[in-house]
Homo-oligomer: A and B are copies of this chain.
Amino acid sequence: MAQKSQLDFRFSDLRIDPESPLPKQRQIYAALREAILDGKLNPNDVLPSTRELAGELGVSRNTVLAAYELLLAEGYIAGRGGAGTYVAQNTARPPASLPPERIEPRPLSSTAEVMRVEQLPDSWESPSVARPFRPSSPAFDAFPFTTWARIVTHHSRGQGRFSVADGDTHGQLPLRRAITEHLRAARSCHCEPDQVFVTSGSQLALFLCSMLLIDKDDAVWTEEPGFPDAHRTFRARTTRVIPVPVDSSGIDIEAGKALSPQPRVIYVTPTNQWPLGIVMPIQRRLALLQFAAERKAWIVEDDYAGDLRYDGKAYSTLQGLDEADRVIHLGTFSTTMLPGLRLGYILVPPDLVDAFAAARRIIDRYPNTLAQAGLTDFIERGFYHRHIRAMQQLYYERHQLLQSRIVSKLGGILEARPASAGTFTVANLASGIDDVALAKGLHARGIDSLPLSQTYAGAPALHGLLLGHAVAPPEAIRAGIDGIERFFSTWGFAPMNAAKKSARAT
């Protein structure tokens, strides 16, 4: 690409639109991000100081700071210590993506010989959700049931007709509008309500992808380690599910190419890699989009924790960066609201809308309308945002407590990784301990977890436990960690040198 002069972009031309639904910091963020992606701001170009730009725009310095912090976290800009902030390397969109090609969805029919739908071991399927430390459960104790019940009661009386009657295969339009607005404003998605389908959790979204995007002989990249349900869902449809190692930027494209150069689907969790919590930086995102456009692969972006970040960073999505219509974006209300709602969404490129609608029609038509009506109201009346903000704080606190209890009680055995989003903490195990046996033993004592080794499709590089901190109130966290400590002592080995570990890990 030709080197462009900094004159392509003038900071003084930046404008805040008071009519925009976007907060000011998001507007500044979006304008700078676009300038960088478009190559109007080039690598090493220096940004004005937050004080300067705040003065220029007539906003508070904190507003500019928040925009810079998100750009920094996403990898668009870097800080040079004393010398200010500058545009990072490899942040411009590659020139002229290939024109999007219409790819036919895949058929449901089949000739293969073996049913490959697999079952998980019973112990990880326990419905006793309120136990510590079930990894994907939200805080049932902190859900605003009174408000929710008031809304649901209204709709269950049949007063909103759409709560009882036949529904829309895409999901109810008001809910799709609310989801679209949220994704645009908070996550920089490009979408219209017609591209959104309300699904039964993210599982149905994954299933739709497995039905419509791949065929028997198609390759699918999944993350290694990664989300077992995604792996399993794709494996029901193709034998060629390829676990691709995750490095410090997320899925390792070069490693993937070496394993399987022509994936049809690439399943990723770029906002908070499942389970390791890695945020994919802009450089890797652009490379992944470029690769997908070149190979005509679909990217399935699972945003399972997008609304549950503790660090206040509303990272933009791959979907919002995608100019070649290769990204299918999905999310769930199971962890932000309640899993029993069975609500989630999938946002598909326009070319795929008809195929998804037709498939939805023969699978289950549409989700429970009372739940849809209730959630729509809950979002529109501001309760959803209030709730997720509260949960971000609460889950952060529970994560911190869990971490500190692990340090003080289980130092030397378990080491908790810091988490910035979601419902669970990953705790690495000292080598030589079988995490599956450990999880089974704990399960029998009323403590749920998921063995980290089971998040690997191949040989596990790490052993440990996924411990859900969201579901557990403080007393349950303390009791749960005490329970793990007791369990270890019955196994005959106590935490080694807990105090020393403690000092390092906090």
Contacts and interface: CB of A to CB of B under 8 A. Distances in A.
Interface of A: 104-120, 125, 127, 129-130, 134, 137, 140, 143, 145-146, 148-149, 152-153, 156-158, 161-169, 199-201, 203-204, 206-207, 210-212, 215-217, 229, 232-233, 236-239, 338-342, 354-355, 357-359, 361-371, 374
Contact of A203 (B107, B362, B374): B362
Best-buried of A130, A152, A355 by chain B (most CB within 10 Å): A152
5 contacts: A108-B110, A109-B238, A115-B355, A149-B156, A164-B338
B340 A369 contact: yes
Contacts of A201: 364-365
Sorted nearest first, the 8 A-B pairs with minimum C-beta distance are A340-B369, A200-B364, A129-B165, A368-B368, A117-B358, A152-B156, A109-B216, A110-B110
Main secondary structure of the interface of A (DSSP, over half): loop
B127 A165 contact: yes
Contacts of A110: 106-112, 215-216, 237
A147 to B, nearest CB: 10
A167 B358 contact: no
B338 A366 contact: no
Contacts of A204: 363-364
B370 A341 contact: yes
A137 B116 contact: no
Contacts of A104: 114-115
Nearest to A356: B117
Contacts of A206: 362
A157 B130 contact: no
A362 B109 contact: no
A209 to B, nearest CB: 11
